[in-house]
Structure 1
Amino acid sequence: MAELLKFDIPISIESSISNEFLFNWENYEEIFSNPNQPGESPTTRFESSKVYGVVPMNVIELIQNFLDPIKWMNMVPTIVTKARTVEVLDSGDLGGSMQLMYEKLHILSPLVEARNYYFIRYFRKLDEKTWIMVDVSYDLIKEIQSGETSHAWKFPSGCAIQDLEHGESRVTWIEHVQVDEKIPVHNMFLPLLIDRQTYGAKRWIVTLQRMCERYSVEVGATSLSRHDPKQVLNDPEILENIMQISLRMVKRFCEILSMTEKLDFPTSSKFKSEDRVSIRKNEDITQQKGFIITAATSLWLPLSCRNVFNFLKDNNSRCQWDVLAGENTVTELARIETGCVPGNNITIIQPYVPEEKNMLILQESAIDELGAFLIYAPIDLSTVNSIFNGGDVNKVSILPSGFIICPDGRHNLDTYITKNAQNGSILTMAFQILICHADNASISLKQQKSAVTSVHNLLSSTVLKIKATLGCSD
């Protein structure tokens, strides 16, 4: 791993247009030959990349976030949906540590299968300013392969962290993975969704940069006057509470995207191959108890990520697609900027729906070089007031829906700030609805059929509205 992080050996070649490095496989195999590595087959492929970037967080804070599985998920919530420490092998001290961990990675779309890893995570201090974190797969991977159409093996991967001044770090990230597609999945979107960057080093760096910016906003807030609702959110305690709830909302949304199998419901014959629907009984105190139905789909749009993102972010056009708006205008009551890129923020929105006067919408959105998301959930006014008055945020029920937007794999999104970029994109949307309260132990087949039809119709109609408004119905 230490050799891979060097820039003067012929294993990787720096790109002439970015801070990325491409692997030279012949040189790698010659220097790091390993007779015990997993065997290759016609369905095997390798995904390897190296990228560096400056992250607005010091090295000690980064290490603390990487060691704790909860903090690890919070640091990269759009990539890691589950994580836990299986066993601490060497607690060490600030000079190094080693532990066996598990993580589930999933991004982009329910059409892309999640990846599960059991791996050894090792930290070592190289000098006064430099640390390395190395992840390598462990044999427990065999315990989670049953039923999966593919599995991935992580060769030495991870990062080197160099402490810079003013609370910043230079992070060089390596991803080196062997993927075996045991049962190739045929879907028109997969070639567009899966490219070198989907699970690559650049996604880790870009996500770290964005989330560290978000973290710095949370810890750097200052107390302002409470007369203006927008200034209320700058009170450190209130701001932290709102940001915690919003982070949980984003994590919940990313978790529900693991829906690779089209489920067998009475109306499933009407589904398109990209549609997914599931029903689950929820007992989690942070969501409403009962049966929750989730519907998701992905579609291609001949527009750039930035253009699609701007459309979804526009409060003036929200009534054209959002059923929560009731075809009426919405008003933004408050905003928390979570980064320096326009559009990266948390907002509280008030729709004008006479029969739902106490309903607000909590929303978090972000865009970066590799795509964007907009995730939201209804939240009632009494809950918001409770948060403002110091209520327990862990008991706030949140049921998110939203969108993931990613480039279609044919172009890089180097001009993601440019509003007139013309790259195509994949839009993934997912809706969740509570269909039956917890008092009922089960739901009948008739109730299932009715609920599935209703939510799937909502999904389909929203797709048609978005395409029509964007002028790409064909």
Structure 2
Amino acid sequence: MVTPAKQFLVGEGSKSAPRFSTNFMEELGQNNSEVPNRDSAGSQYGRGGNGDQDIVSEAAAAKSLGKRKFVDEQQLEELQDSSQKVKKRCMMLPANYESQIDKAPTNYNIEAIVELVRLATEELRVMAVVTEPLWRYCPGADDGSRILDKVTYRKMFPNLVGPTQEGFASEASRETARVKSSPKHLVDILMDVSKWSATFSAIVTKASTIDVLMNPGGATDYDGTLQVMAARYQLSTPHVPYRDTYFARYCKKYSENDWIVVDVSLDKVHQVPVMRCKKRPSGCLIHGLSDGFSQIAWLEHVDAYSEDVSTMYKNLLVSGLGFGAKRWISALDRKCQQMVTNISVKVPLRDYDELVRSSNKKAWQVLLKLAAGMVHSFNLGISGEQWEEVPGHFSDNVRVMIRRIMNDPILPMGAMVSATSSIWLPLSPKSVFDFLHDHNSRSEPLIPYPGREWEVLSSENVIEQMCRIPRGQEARNCVSMHKVLAGNSSQEDIILLQESCSDPVSPYIVYSRLHTEEAMDLILSGGKEYLCILPSGFAVLPDGPATGTEGSGGSLLTLSFQLFVDGSPAFVLPAEGHSRLIDLMNCTIERIKDALEEFSSQEALFASMNEKVIN
């Protein structure tokens, strides 16, 4: 049986294969070569190569074992040469910075770490609940947010991670919320690294538990558990480098309904690699309520390297919104809402060619799995994880990266490119998200797609929503399928899979096109087949603390898309192709700005009309 993934791989019958048109391939400066055939199987979405070193080692291993080679000798030489010349890194990182997340030591002074987490626990208990003079109101903010008084902080607490280093900036924030979950379940999410990274996948791109130093309660009880962890955090933009951090996490139960989970970096008591982020005592206090909810007080307090952060994002980071407590607690609340929704959801499906009509629950489970992988791939594309930056000085605002793939169970062997850009808009995040989320405001996805006209707001196509799977109490938190109706008989209908999230700090919309037959086969099979989904989408951030009822005065919008361009991992994107991608991204940005300007004008008109009616 030929799977959709294999159809995509060999280019037979797959109408949704995300490729450039022939003319566009020529403009990129290379031939539209056929993708080599190979066996494809697997069940984990998005697991793949990590750049040149993986490609070289895997090719050499295949050769030594007498297996079929995936690259010829010339390609192997090119890759070996490329791996020496191209340093894979996230855009904006210092030239001399090398990630240390995988180089954490394993010999510990347990007594020193135990004393450190004891002091950190006491500090967190105080900082999470007291107000003046430690926390004072943020000047100019209308949302009641507070900022840490650093002078008072230094007087009240010992310095557990050392002084703030040159080039580093201190960020502190706290937030409280009620979430629909028990304290024990929340602790399980925070202490299990797999569940933790999945719950906060928009923030955590990589995480591991390096060692468990204490675990008196065994696998079923985290009370007293002390573990050493490493993690990498990201913001949805290429202009803020990812943050690696190495820390201890400790959990303590005060009563059946009262828990604390605290993080603190080990720099002061242990020889650790140089990291971009040091955690001062951070974490959360959890109190169980009688109605099935839990009250959470969350604190984030870090020193982070900031010399290479774009000026456009510094206000966001200093305010504590970028990686702050509000973003973490919003993600946790959303996850808890999703779990409640998953138990009770009934999916309203529109009647369309028997699509998912026969198996409602199975259908939405498959769609949710696909959407989760799609969003994960989107986030990795923005962060640069598993990608390498294309060298050249073509644009300061558009980042073009390439990913070389071999032996991946889902993705075909070859090369993918991604283009990402971030812009400032003079509209609130709510207005930007509302516009992007409303499929009636656009008849085509705003980010163009290869193989079709690069029309952003084409009047020839109409989008119909086929189904919507709620992902929480907020109606716009959902996974949905849309049918893009062909504008003429020469075109075929396309299915649009989309996930949207109206997070108060970092809303996003991510989508990918599927051919109708592929979508039907996949869903009706219950997910036994797998598709290669290359995402496009938007991530919205405020440009600083809220200054009005609609949020801040401006938004930071990131656009990103991924494309499969060639069947050879040794593909080199020429300068002409690089420039062409940048031109297309800039064209898209201008069209989005024009559309948003018209949208905001209509909003202002409606607001003035309503005001007149009220008065």
Q: Quick check: TM above 0.5?
A: yes
- Provide the rounded CA distance (Å) in 1 between the counterparts of 2:122 and 2:529: 41
Deviations 1:146-201 (A, max 9, x none): xxxxx2210111101111234321111011112244xx237442335433221111
Whether 2:595 is the aligned partner of 1:469: answer yes
Q: Does 1:373 align with 2:508?
A: yes
Which residue is equivalent to 1:170?
Answer: 295
How far has the Cα of 1:250 moved from its partner? 1.3
Residues 75-94 of structure 1 mapped to structure 2, 5 A cutoff: 75-93=199-217, 94=221
Q: Residue 211 and residue 241 in structure 1: after superposition, are their counterparts in 2 closer, same or farther (change >3 A)? A: same
1:208 is aligned to 2:332: yes
Q: Deviation per CA, 1:200-222, whole angstroms, max 9, x where unpaired?
A: 11111122112222232123335
- SS state of the match for residue 225, structure 2? strand
The one of 570, 582, 600 aligned to 1:456? 582
Task: Map Cα deviations across residues 113-134 of structure 1 (whole Å, 9 max, x no partner).
Answer: 1111111111111111011111
Check the 8 A contact 1:282/1:288 in 2, yes or no.
Answer: yes
Q: Which amino acid aligns with 1:32?
A: F
Which 5+ residue runs of structure 2 have no aligned equivalent?
1-120, 600-615
Is the contact between residue 117 and residue 141 of structure 1 (CA under 8 Å) also seen in structure 2? Answer: no
In the alignment, does 2:482 pair up with 1:339?
A: no
C-alpha deviation, 1:11, in angstroms: 6.4
Contact 1:73 1:81 (C-alpha < 8 Å) held by counterparts: yes
The runs of 5 or more residues in structure 1 that have no matched partner are: 146-150, 417-421
Question: What is the distance in 1 between the residues matched to 2:350 and 2:211?
Answer: 47
User: Is 1:64 the counterpart of 2:188 in the alignment?
Assistant: yes
TM-score (norm 2): 0.67
Contact 1:118 1:141 in 2 (8 A): no
Q: Give the Å deviation of 1:281.
A: 1.0
Secondary structure of 1:198's counterpart equals coil
Aligned to 2:603: none
Preserved contact between residue 389 and residue 402 of structure 2 (Cα < 8 Å): no
Change (3 A) 1:262 1:382: closer
> Pairwise mapping of residues 133-144 of structure 1 onto structure 2 (< 5 A)?
133-139=261-267, 142-143=272-273
Alignment of 1:287-298 (within 5 A): 287-298=411-422
Structure 1 residues 201-240: aligned runs within 5 Å: 201-222=325-346, 232=357, 235-240=360-365
Q: Is the 8 A contact 1:11 1:25 kept in 2?
A: no
Structure 2 distance, partners of 1:37, 1:460, is 43
Q: How does 1:244-255 map to 2 (within 5 A)?
A: 244-255=369-380
Residue in 1 that maps onto 2:314: 191
Deviation at 1:363, TM superposition (A): 0.6
CA distance 1:86–1:232, change in 2 (3 Å):
farther
Q: Secondary structure at the match of 2:255?
A: coil
Q: Return the letter of the residue paired with 1:333.
A: M
Q: Matched residue of 2:124: which SS?
A: coil
Equivalent residue letter for 2:369: Q
- SS of the residue corresponding to residue 216 of structure 2 reads strand
How far the C-alpha of 1:463 sits from its partner, in A, is 0.6
Higher relative contact order (CA 8 A, sep 6+): 2
Q: Is the 8 A contact 1:334 1:349 kept in 2?
A: yes
Q: Is the aligned partner of 1:402 residue 2:402?
A: no
Deviation at 1:423, TM superposition (A): 2.3
**Correspondent of 1:4 among 124, 132, 136:** 124
Which residue in 2 is equivalent to 1:419?
none
SS of 2:186's partner is helix
Per-residue CA deviations over 1:398-437 (Å, capped at 9, x if unaligned) read 2111111111116357535xxxxx8211111011001113
How many angstroms apart in 2 are the aligned matches of 1:249 and 1:125? Answer: 37
Which is worse superposed, 197-206 or 131-140? 131-140
In structure 2, distance between residues paired with 1:357 and 1:218: 33
**Equivalent residue of 1:40, what SS?**
coil
Find the counterpart in structure 2 of residue 157 from structure 1: 282
User: 1:253 and 1:472, CA in 2 relative to 1: closer, same or farther beyond 3 A?
Assistant: same
The residue type paired with residue 596 of structure 2 is: L
From 238, 250, 254, the counterpart of 1:122 = 250
Contact 1:295 1:459 in 2 (8 A): yes
Q: Which amino acid aligns with 1:214?
A: Q
Classify 1:237/1:372 alpha carbon distance in 2 versus 1 (closer, same or farther; 3 Å). same
**1:13-92 to 2 correspondence within 5 Å?**
13=135, 15=137, 20-34=145-159, 37-92=161-216
1:351 paired residue among 484, 489, 493: 484
How many Å separate the matches in 2 of 1:98 and 1:383?
47
Hey, what's the Cα distance between the residues in 2 that align with 1:124 and 1:393? 42
**CA distance 1:451–1:20, change in 2 (3 Å):** same
Q: Deviations over 1:2-46 (max 9, x none)?
A: 443343575633659657553333333233223x63333453321
Distance 1:465 1:360, change over 3 A: same
Deviation of the 1:298 alpha carbon: 0.7
- How many angstroms apart in 2 are the aligned matches of 1:193 and 1:450? 35
Deviation at 1:238, TM superposition (A): 2.6
- Contact 1:431–1:459 (Cα < 8 Å) also in 2: no
Equivalent pairs counted in the alignment come to: 453
Write the letter of the residue equivalent to 1:339: G
Higher strand share: 1
8 A contact 2:206–2:231 mirrored in 1: yes
Q: In structure 1, give the amino acid aligned to 2:504.
A: E
1:428: which partner in 2? 558
Cross-structure match for 2:230: 102
Aligned partner letter, 1:388 = I
Classify 1:84/1:362 alpha carbon distance in 2 versus 1 (closer, same or farther; 3 Å). Answer: same
- 1:257 aligned residue (371, 374, 382): 382
Higher mean Cα deviation, 462-471 or 37-46?
37-46
Partner of 1:430, secondary structure, is strand
Change in Cα spacing, 1:379 to 1:409, as seen in structure 2 (3 Å) is: same
Matches of 2:349 and 2:308, distance apart in 1: 56
Q: Is the 8 A contact 1:121 1:133 kept in 2?
A: yes
* Cα 1:333–1:304 shift into 2, 3 Å: same
Higher gyration radius (CA): 2
Q: 1:47 to 1:223 in 2, by over 3 A?
A: closer
Question: Structure 1 length normalisation: TM-score?
Answer: 0.85
**3-state SS, counterpart of residue 185 of structure 1:** coil
Deviations 1:206-265 (A, max 9, x none): 221122222321233358899677985993333222212212211221122224999454
